[in-house]
């Protein structure tokens, strides 16, 4: 039983590391692409209109939402919420089976 618990913990940690890796890859891509767009904006058009800020803001919102999910900042539907709901449904199922 203890071995199953350790394996479960290992798999959860492995999944968390994979999520972090994907987020950092997303962040790196964001920084590189937005920097490239800013450079293109600077060299091709007058610097008066900074159009690269539009994709930076749009993509930044997506990146922010990704960070909320990965770092479990969302208090409503984060990992803790999932775990609580799973335990709740398991307890209800156990109670239901006792009455059968």
Is 18 contained in some domain?
A: yes
Q: Which domain holds residue 56?
A: 2-74
pLDDT of residue 31: 98
pLDDT of residue 72: 78
Domain count, the chain: 1
**pLDDT digits (tens), the chain, 100 positions:** 566 778 888 998 999 999 999 999 999 999 999 999 999 998 987 678 899 999 999 999 999 999 988 987 766 666 677 778 888 888 888 777 776 6
pLDDT of residue 1: 54
Is 23 contained in some domain?
A: yes
Can you spell out the DSSP letters for 40-92? HHHHHS-TTS-TTHHHHHHHHHHHHHHHHHHTT--TTTSHHHHHHHHHHHHHH
């Amino acid at each position: 039983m203890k071995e199953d618990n350790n394996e479960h913990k290992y798999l959860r940690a492995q999944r968390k590391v994979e999520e972090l890796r994907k987020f950092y890859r997303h962040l790196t891509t964001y920084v590189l692409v937005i920097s490239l767009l800013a450079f293109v904006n600077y060299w091709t058009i007058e610097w008066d209109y900074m159009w690269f800020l539009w994709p930076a803001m749009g993509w930044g919102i997506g990146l922010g939402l990704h960070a909320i999910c990965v770092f479990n900042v969302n208090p409503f539907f984060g990992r803790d919420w999932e775990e609580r709901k799973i335990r709740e449904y398991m307890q209800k199922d156990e109670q239901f089976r006792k009455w059968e």
